[in-house]
Amino acid sequence: MSIRRRKAVLYILVAGFMIVLIGVLLFLWIYFSSMREMHQTTRNFYEQSFTVSNAAQALESQLHQIRSDLLYATLIQADSVHLINTVAAIKGHEAAAQQKIASIEHNYSGDRAPLPLLKQNIQALDEMTASVIKQLAEGQYAEASTLIETAWNARFAKVAKLNEAILAHADLRANEYVAESEKRMERHTHQGITYAALLVTLFLLVGLFVGGRIYHLHLEADKFAFTDFLTGIANRRHFIHELESEIRRYQRYGSSFSFAMVDIDFFKKINDQYGHHAGDLVLQNFCLRCVSALRTSDMVGRLGGEEFGILMPMTDLHEAAHVIERLRSEIDHSVMSEQGEQIHYTASFGLVSTAQLGTQDGLTQLMKMADFALYTAKQQGRNRVYIANH
């Protein structure tokens, strides 16, 4: 493989690899960006619902603790020292309750109408708690117990109802989170499959492109390796290779073939009179006539300059002479035109077949016999077919 051809293949492979690499990186970026966004959204849904639910439960627990402290102080008819401790505990519960309300207010995503009502009722409940503590401090234990059992419990029931509504909404949001998470996961899976399909398609297209380009380069390389660039027929190396293969088949299996060496008559004179471009056109015209006149099994090759070879497999001397004479006659009766000039040319042929070869004769002997036959054809006046050893 030539350096130029290797570079071309390398460039194509590198270009294909870069396209696939860009596709893979794009796929990974889109996929993981989507995954991160999905996880972030899911996390927000979950944390908000979880925070509201915990805060609502903790709020209700703090209110229950305040009620228990009040009832216990009323039951034991707490003295001043015990009452101070009870008030301190209640203040702590109230502060914790306010924190939970703030947390609910910050994370709650439903209808916000219950939040002001909840805060109002909590404030009213704090005021009633202060009234109960005042009565306890004055020793009015019966009145304090009655206030707790009536107005305080009624207000607590309103707070609990509002709190239950908030808790129910948090549970609903949690269920929605599960459903939304499943939908997002399904959508993300579909997107992943789609991106993967696009990536595979891209890979196949790049593979086809790279394979096509490499195949095209191989075809061009084969064409340059086996054909003559001017005439488009087999070059000397390829023609000699096929001729040697035919000789080996003859030596092994005895299969007959014929070979003709051809030379265009007075070709130098054509170049001198009409120019080298006209000479090239004559060579091309000669090859076209050979291809059209010969059989598909026959092969024409350029041996050098205006000298050509014709290989006719599975053809005896008689049949080969008929084919070559028909070709010679067709060339002799044709005239080609170039820039208003009428150019007529002829060709001489030296023909040899396996009938004139010994079983041990090889390429050198064959070429020598054909070349001598061609020389004889020229000596006898050109524009004729001469058979070796005749």
pLDDT tens digit sequence for 340-359: 789 999 999 999 999 888 77
pLDDT at 314 (0 to 100): 93
Q: Which CB contacts under 8 angstroms, 24+ apart, belong to 77-84?
A: 77/139, 77/141, 78/136, 80/137, 83/133, 83/136, 83/137
Burial zone of 328 (CB within 10 Å; 0-12 exposed, 13-18 middle, 19+ buried): buried
- Out of 65-79, 159-173, 203-217, 268-282, the most confident range is 268-282
- Gyration radius (Cα) of the chain, Å: 53
Please name the helix (run of DSSP H) or strand (run of DSSP E) that holds residue 248, with its range, or none. Answer: helix 236-253
Q: Which residues contact 183 (CB under 8 A, 6 or more apart)?
A: none
Q: Mean pLDDT across the stretch 327-333?
A: 93
Considering 60, 143, 306, 338, which one is annotated as catalytic?
A: 306
- Tell me how many degrees the CA angle 176-177-181 measures, rounded to the nearest 5: 115
Instruction: Quickly state the pLDDT bin for 205 (edges 50, 70, 90).
Output: confident
C-alpha to C-alpha distances, 227 to 147, 267, 274, 300, 303, nearest whole angstrom: 114, 22, 26, 10, 11
Instruction: Quickly state the pLDDT bin for 29 (edges 50, 70, 90).
Output: confident
**Out of 6-20, 110-124, 255-269, least confident range:** 6-20
Residue 30 to residue 240: CA distance in whole angstroms: 60
Q: What percentage of the chain exceeds 90 in pLDDT?
A: 33
pLDDT at 42 (0 to 100): 59
pLDDT at 167 (0 to 100): 78
- Residues 31 and 195 sit within 8 Å (Cβ to Cβ): yes
Q: Mean pLDDT across the stretch 52-61?
A: 83
The closest of 338, 116, 317, 365 to 349, measured between CA atoms, is: 317
Please name the residue that has the structure tokens 């893979």: 24
pLDDT at 350 (0 to 100): 96
Q: Which residues contact 225 (CB under 8 A, 6 or more apart)?
A: 237, 238
| 306 flagged as catalytic | yes
Provide the CA 242 distance to its chain's centre, in angstroms.
43
